Amino acid sequence: MELQGKRIVLGVTGGIAAYKAAELVRLLGKQGADVQVAMTEGATHFVTATTFQALSGKPVYLDQWDARMPNAMAHIDLSRQADLILVAPASADFMARIANGLADDLLATMVLARTCPLMLAPAMNRQMWENSATQRNVATLAEDGVALIGPACGEQACGEVGAGRMLEPEEILEEVITFFAPKVLSGKKVLITAGPTFEAIDPVRGITNLSSGRMGYALARAAQHTGADVTLVSGPVALPVPAGVCRVPVRSALEMHEAVMQAAGQADVFIAVAAVADYRVANAADHKLKKDHGGVPAIELVENPDILADVASLPAAPFCVGFAAESQNLEAYAQAKRQKKKVPLIAGNLIQDGFGGDDNRITLFDDQGAHPLVPAPKYVLARQLIEHIAKLTGNR
């Protein structure tokens, strides 16, 4: 529920990408946004108002003379109630009209009458996008403070390849979430480790930890949404790279250690979420071990470096945050870990509460004591942890 209570007017204009706006309504709604759809006449040639009505659960507004508005001022009423007007797809014609302040249909009138921010996701043929008239309009709109997201490059409905394709609904959703997130980490460099590490025994076998990587990836997204420049050093997981985040893929604890130590010098905040293997195999084999070759193999282990403790002991250490996943005595173990590794903040959770799932229950431990957070989806907790970090580092 990343957009809980946000009122968004989704404007849909005439273009083939209008079919993707249907999915966008669903994604925005799933995150708790209250979505009101307004369509231009052109848009209705691609998708019907019924589709949007069914998905948003509300009547769709089509023209400024709509008799359902008691005072015949739909444009004022609708845009005054909104926290954001998002137009996706925004056609070349629509951008030209609003760049020039025209109010010749309901959506353009709402845009002109708005008191809230405006975000456009352009979608058009690449030649139309490159045309100097469109580029002039884009420059005017940017100067007017309109947020333009995309367009992306790629294959277009017309068969051509180039810039002009609307961002995918998931990408637009990320932009909207970013738009609403308070920028408490603005300009900060945040380094995060996530996922498990894998310590090879031979080329096909290894020792690893159970870790989905979800909490670390949620933190990377949350940090990115709140204005940080994020580097995510990730062990092997099956998760997509969050938009705008720089991911450094690693496998073993030693690789993770090296990647982190390289980036730690520039970081303002370091969050160690990875489930790093405590030991690696000292006698890893170069070739696959065979079962019928002289009995049970002996695996010799050596200790891995403690990445978090090493970063925390750097002379100009970033603000360090650790995680403690315990199966019992959470507070005592978490506080002991905080002192031992010399980190100001530890997020603790009981393994039985959050492993592999979307939700988690965590408690933050700092100099002031324990701060239990209400159980919630990992992204929601990640945002709260970011808020706490911002408070402790003086950004809030």
Burial 149-180 (b: 16+ CB within 10 A, else e): bbbeeeebeeeeebebbbbbbeebbbbbbbbb
∠ CA 271-272-277, rounded to 5°:
170
43, 12 contact by CB (below 8 A): yes
Query: Of 174 and 306, which has the nearer Cβ to ligand C5P?
Result: 306
Q: What phi-psi label fits residue 174: left (phi over 0), alpha (psi between -120 and 50 degrees) or beta?
A: alpha
Decide if residue 322 touches ligand C5P (CB under 6 A). yes
C-alpha 297: how far from its chain's center?
A: 44
Q: How far is the CB of 195 from ligand C5P (least distance, A)?
A: 10
Closest approach, Cβ 342 to ligand C5P, in A, equals 12
Nearest to 66 by CA among 44, 33, 39: 39
Stretch that binds ligand C5P, among 1-9, 153-161, 170-178, 300-308 (CB under 6 A): 300-308
Q: Which is nearer to ligand C5P, 10 or 392 (CB)?
A: 392
Among the listed residues 251, 337, 378, 383, the single contact to ligand C5P using CB under 6 A = 337
Give the burial class of 135: count Cβ atoms within 10 A of its Cβ; 0-12 exposed, 13-18 middle, 19 or more buried: exposed
- CB of 278: closest distance to ligand C5P in angstroms? 6
Instruction: Compute the least distance from the CB of residue 317 to ligand C5P, in Å.
Output: 13
Q: Which two tokens stand for residue 82?
A: 């909104």
Q: What does each C-alpha distance from 226 to 129, 324, 383 come to in angstroms? A: 30, 24, 8
Please report whether residue 219 would count as binding ligand C5P according to CB under 6 A.
no
What CA–CA distance (Å, rounded) separates 218 from 115?
Answer: 32
Is the Cβ of residue 106 or residue 312 nearer to ligand C5P in the bound state?
312
* Cβ atoms of 225 and 210 closer than 8 Å: no
Closest to ligand C5P by CB, 49 or 309: 309
Site string for ligand C5P, 86-125 (x = CB under 6 A): ----------------------------------------
Structure tokens at 73: 């001022």
Number of residues counted as binding ligand C5P (CB under 6 A): 14
Binding of ligand C5P at residue 365 (CB under 6 A)? no
Match 């277009």 to its residue by tokens: 156
304 scored as a contact of ligand C5P (CB under 6 A): yes
Contact assessment for residue 45 and residue 18, using Cβ atoms and an 8 Å cutoff:
no
CB of 189 or CB of 280, closer to ligand C5P: 280
Q: Which of 324, 345, 381, 385 is the binder for ligand C5P (CB under 6 A)?
A: 324
Contact by Cβ (8 Å): 103, 74: no
CB contact at 8 A, 85 and 52: no
**Residue pair 112/105 in contact by the 8 Å Cβ criterion:** no
Query: Cβ 302 to ligand C5P, closest distance in Å?
Result: 12
Selected from 85, 245, 276, 382, the binder of ligand C5P by CB under 6 A is 276
Counting contacts by CB under 6 A, is residue 306 touching ligand C5P? yes
- Does 274 engage in binding with ligand C5P (CB under 6 A)? yes
The interface region with ligand C5P, picked from 3-11, 233-241, 283-291, 306-314 by CB under 6 A, is 306-314
Q: Which of 364, 365, 382 is nearest to 373 (CA)?
A: 364
| Full DSSP string of 145-168 | T-EE--PEEEE-TTS-EEEEEPPP
Site string for ligand C5P, 176-215 (x = CB under 6 A): -----------------x----------------------
Determine if 338 is a binding residue for ligand C5P (CB under 6 A).
no
Q: Which residues pair with 301 in a beta bridge?
A: 281
The answer to whether 307 contacts ligand C5P (rule: CB under 6 A) is: yes
The label of the residue with tokens 């070349």 reads: 92
The window from 15-23, 55-63, 241-249, 322-330 that contacts ligand C5P (CB under 6 A) reads 322-330
Question: Using the rule CB under 6 A, is 272 a contact of ligand C5P?
Answer: yes
Instruction: Using DSSP bridges, classify how beta strands 198-202 and 205-208 pair: parallel, antiparallel or unpaired.
Output: antiparallel
- In the annotation, is 158 catalytic? yes
Of 116, 153, 158, 246, the catalytic one is 158
Active site residues: 158
**Which residues contact ligand C5P by CB under 6 A?**
193, 253, 272-274, 276, 304, 306-308, 322-324, 337
